[in-house]
Amino acid sequence: MVRSAEMKDLERVAEIERLSFPNPWTPYYLENALKDFFLVYDDGEVQGYLAATCRDQDEKATILKVAVHPEARGRGIASKLVRGALDAFERRGIKHVELDVKIISAGAVHLYEKFGFRIQRMVTIDVDDTSFLVMKKEI
Ligand SMILES: CC(C)(COP(=O)(O)OP(=O)(O)OC[C@H]1O[C@@H](n2cnc3c(N)ncnc32)[C@H](O)[C@@H]1OP(=O)(O)O)[C@@H](O)C(=O)NCCC(=O)NCCS
């Protein structure tokens, strides 16, 4: 099931983070993110998570990242997390949802397209030449 993250999830979330990203968020950064909008998928053990920021005053949310433990991928867990986040945003009166997707993550683009997100623009960060796709959805 999809539920809100709690502090006790931090260690497992940090493990999935390390296994999922070349430049993982530090446990300190994750601890702070956990206090914001943070969902986990728990089937007895946390298998994935979705981090976002929610700005109620301008009805806007940004999905920061979604990750699933490598051994649990391909079973629809990320899809359940995105669905759960969109439902929660809608309940909070959020109208605009944005996200940045590292361009190399083709699977992630497909995941978000499935939920009606559309590519807005590509952003290249000169420092390390990383490209991001900015995707957006109105709900
Ligand atoms: C991207 C990620 C979150 C997907 O998690 P998942 O639980 O395996 O995703 P789902 O099973 O819900 O699949 C969602 C869709 O994306 C597709 N997909 C997932 N990974 C894919 C990949 N590597 N290549 C192509 N398509 C992929 C699936 O086929 C599925 O589409 P479908 O429902 O039409 O078949 C997971 O691979 C991951 O943690 N990757 C590392 C971190 C990352 O890149 N996060 C995204 C950017 S923040």
Q: Is 51 in the pocket of ligand 1 (CB under 6 A)?
A: no
**Helical packing angle, 27-34 and 10-20, nearest 10°:** 120
* Interatomic CA distance for residues 85 and 36, integer angstroms: 13
Question: Quick one: pLDDT band at residue 129, thresholds 50, 70, 90?
Answer: low
**Better-predicted residue by pLDDT, 136 or 17:** 17
- What was the pLDDT predicted at 25? 92
What distance in Å separates the CA atoms of residue 54 and residue 19, rounded to the nearest whole number?
26
Is the whole-model pTM more than 0.85? yes
> What tens digit of pLDDT does each residue of 40-96 get?
999 999 999 999 998 888 899 999 999 999 999 999 999 999 999 999 999 999 999
Mutate which of 73, 97, 100, 119 for ligand 1? The one with the most ligand atoms within 8 Å of its CB, which is 73
- Nearest atom (ligand 1) to Cα of 101: 47
Dist. CA 107 → ligand 1 center (Å): 5
| Whether the CB of 65 sits within 6 Å of ligand 1 | yes
Predicted confidence at residue 68, as pLDDT, reads 97
Alpha helices, DSSP H only, in the chain?
10-20, 27-34, 77-91, 106-114
Decide if domain 2-99 falls under CATH 1.10.260.40: no
Give the count of beta carbons closer than 10 Å to the beta carbon of residue 53: 13
**Across the chain, what does the average pLDDT equal?**
90
Alpha-carbon span 105 to 64, nearest angstrom:
14
